[in-house]
Amino acid sequence: MHNKIVAVAFFLAALMGCASRGSAPASDPRYPKMIECGADLVVFILSDTVLTQRVERDLRTGPVPASMQSALENRMKTHPSAGYVEVVSREVGSSALNRHLNSDVMPKVADMKANSDLKFANDKIKALQEIVPQLAESAQSACKQAGYSFTAIKPLSVIPVTEGPKVARATPSIPLQVSMPPSAEPEIQKSSPAIKRSAEPPAASKAEPKPVKALPAISVRKASQSERVQLVKSVGSALKDADSAKYAEMDVIPKKFACVSVNSKNSFGGYTGFKSILVAYIDKGWFSLQEVGSHSLCHTVMTKMARNDS
């Protein structure tokens, strides 16, 4: 989803004819919250619309297909909160809105999305169901502090989906059972037990093993020098003392996940020992997710997540 965030504010601003510069001066005390309100609205509208599309298509994993892009844009235009972006953009301008979106809001929401993906084993519907209400609340709070009276910041009406993929797709069809009046019961119902036993399927057919679906191959390799530079920057931003960090193994599943082994000082100035950090590749960059523990466990986790994402 978030590979589209960079272009979303430009898309909405162009859609609504908003100027690059707004009418409110930057010296206005409300200005920071006005920008925050607009940027939060943009990511909320996008996330909420993508959730609606995924629920309707039962699309739990993988990127939003190109065939859904036009429907996605149309829904964004008619979203209940889309008009609020126009109001904010007129006052702060699309340029300021985009700067804040790309520098502050986008990384924050990307981290939220990545953490939810990890929590729900890459089930993107469940992940979005968790963060969309949070984004709506954040937008509502920022807009209220900015002095706006927006009251309809709420998700689109979608059918909640909390269970796994539809079971009906994987189960055999069940023959329709027809009830017949007692007077019309066929003679077979009154036949001897021997006839009933002969109608049962052979025991061997019940024991036939089901074919096992082959798991997709996952390629793990050592990080290249350029990747190491990016991974150090990503992991270092989450450490207490990035300058003290010592890095060891860095393994990647290209453009998906990485495991980084690092040892750094804590708040008391002492080294805590090497630990492995799980890192995700989002929007052409690496984002530190969370400490996993041993490097081998990190390998297992990122391989499983990459396989689910395939």
Strands (E), 156-284: 221-222, 246-253, 257-263, 275-282
Asked if the model's pLDDT at residue 21 lies above 80, the reply is no
Q: Environment class of residue 115 by beta-carbon count within 10 Å: exposed (0-12), middle (13-18) or buried (19+)?
A: middle
Query: Which pTM does this prediction carry?
Result: 0.50
Asked if the model's pLDDT at residue 266 lies above 90, the reply is no
What's the pLDDT tens digit per position in 89-127?
888 887 888 888 887 888 888 888 888 888 888 888 888
Output the pLDDT for position 184.
Answer: 43
**What percent of the chain is modeled with pLDDT above 70?**
74
Give the CA distances from residue 204 to residues 105, 173, 193, 197, 201, in Å, rounded to whole numbers and listed in that order: 60, 21, 21, 15, 8
Q: Residues 6 or more apart from 267 whose CB is under 8 A from it?
A: 240
Confidence band for 181, pLDDT divided at 50, 70 and 90? very low
Q: Residues 6 or more apart from 20 whose CB is under 8 A from it?
A: 13, 93, 94, 95
Task: Name the token pair of 121.
Answer: 């084993």
Residue 52 one-letter amino acid: T
What does 32-73 look like in DSSP terms, one character per residue? HHHHHHHHHHHHHHHHHHHHHHHHHHT--SSPPPGGGHHHHH
Which one is predicted more confidently, 37 or 21?
37
The domain locations on the chain are: 2-145, 221-309
